[in-house]
Amino acid sequence: MAIHNELGKKGELIAINFLKNKGYQILETNYRYRRSEIDIIASYKKELIIVEVKSRRNAFFGTPQSFVSPNQIKNIIKVANTYVLSHDIDLEVRFDIIGVIIKKDTHNIQHFKDAFNSIQS
**Concatenated DSSP letters for 41-75?**
EEEETTEEEEEEEEEES-STT--GGGG--HHHHHH
Q: What is the arithmetic mean of pLDDT over 14-19?
A: 96
Residue 52: pLDDT over 60: yes
pLDDT of residue 118: 56
- CATH 3.40.1350.10 for the 3-120 domain, yes or no: yes
Which tens digits make up the pLDDT trace of 21-47? 999 999 999 999 988 899 999 999 999
Amino acid symbol at 32 = R
Q: Domain extents for the chain?
A: 3-120
pTM, two decimal places: 0.86
Which tens digits make up the pLDDT trace of 62-114? 665 677 888 889 999 999 999 999 999 999 999 999 999 888 788 889 899 99
pLDDT of residue 121: 42
Question: Cα(11)–Cα(24) distance, rounded to whole angstroms?
Answer: 17
